[in-house]
Amino acid sequence: MAIKAQAQDSTQAGKVTFSGYAEAYYSYDFNNPANHLKPGFIYSYNRHNELNINLGFVKANYTSDRVRGNIAIMAGTYAEYNLAAEPELLRHVYEANVGVRIGKDLWVDAGIMPSHIGFESAVGKDCYNLTRSMLADNSPYYEAGAKITWNPNAKWTLSAMYLNGWQRIRRVDGNQTPAFGTQVTFKPSDKVTLNYSTFIGNDKPDSVRQMRYFNNLYGIFTITDKFSLIAGLDYGFEQKEKGSSDMNQWYSPIAIARYAFTDKLALAGRIEYYSDEHGVIISTGTPNGFKTAGYSLNLDVMPVSNVMFRLEGRLLDSKDEVFLKDNEPKKSNASVIAALAFWF
């Protein structure tokens, strides 16, 4: 449900829609961290043994024939940890952007926007699994910059972006290097979505510039009315040092299957792997870097159309001892998470 109001622009009546979302969660990590924090590469649902809010926001959306815009203010542990590098005031901005149509099916948007990378967002109800994958938690959830989008027909969407950086609202001090992104989405039918997104930029001061080249590829497939599948791959390169032709690489394949027994009951499972031997994104200091497999299974129950209860078990298994239990290194990490989401 949304609250709507009418406004006027120079061409036709515009529509203002107000909406909101809130998701409470409880997570228990069997490694029992004393500081109540899960491993540092987990940014969503990451507080242990306490009831908390992962994400809550209120949003205003304006749409008309030539103009569109979004403003959303948020709170929760997602904002606290994902935007920790941003100025305190900006940590509460989920979206703040405006778009103008400059031609037929051609839009220019600018501001703080959801990332063009990946099939998972911060909004739990829109994802197959309760928790976010390692792939999602360690690539951008949001971006700041300008984007041009063209829809030549109903099957294709093409976008190009000028960005402030790799999940950055404010640039790193001393960084004047422009960052760019692209996105190509192809929907040959209402049962298949194919996407390829890229990022090129530098996430460090220019004095030690290390260019990063990142690729995100995924497909979403509706096999039957009840069964659907997502398969994806992230693959990135970053210079080992400024001016070097040698690159450090990381990659992450993932597969998620979901079966809806009814409109109110569904089951989803995820298999994932993340390899970052040289610590480009996840630094561990261990001999093999971060090489971790993940397995999760979650149950979704929707008692009413705008409420979702979720329960998930998750196991992470690493090649090296990258986890801690009672201050002792361990190769595995298991957790159970419950969440309750509401939206209007």
Residue 78 inside a domain? The answer is no
Identify the CA nearest to 166 among candidates 269, 18, 250, 281: 281
Q: Do residues 33 and 48 touch, judged by C-beta distance below 8 A?
A: yes
- Work out whether the CA dihedral 120, 121, 126, 131 comes out positive or negative: positive
Count of domains in the chain?
1
pLDDT one-digit tens code per residue, 191-221: 999 999 999 999 999 999 999 999 999 999 9
- pLDDT at residue 5 above 70? no
pLDDT of residue 218: 98
pLDDT of residue 44: 97
- pLDDT at residue 1 above 60? no
Residue 162 inside a domain? The answer is yes
pLDDT one-digit tens code per residue, 252-278: 999 999 999 999 999 999 999 999 999
Residue 325 inside a domain? The answer is yes
Q: Which domain holds residue 161?
A: 100-343
Q: Do residues 135 and 217 touch, judged by C-beta distance below 8 A?
A: no
Residue 84 inside a domain? The answer is no
Tokens of 247: 């690159």
- pLDDT at residue 11 above 80? no
Average pLDDT, the chain: 95
pLDDT of residue 9: 46
Note if the pTM is more than 0.75: yes
Residue 79 inside a domain? The answer is no
Residue 179 inside a domain? The answer is yes
How would residue 50 be classed by pLDDT, with cut points 50, 70 and 90?
very high
Give mean pLDDT, residues 319-333: 93
- pLDDT at residue 12 above 80? no
- pLDDT at residue 8 above 50? no
Residue 287 inside a domain? The answer is yes
The enclosing H or E element of 5 equals: strand 3-8
Residue 68 inside a domain? The answer is no
pLDDT one-digit tens code per residue, 72-83: 999 999 999 999
Domain of residue 299, CATH code:
2.40.160.10
How would residue 327 be classed by pLDDT, with cut points 50, 70 and 90?
confident
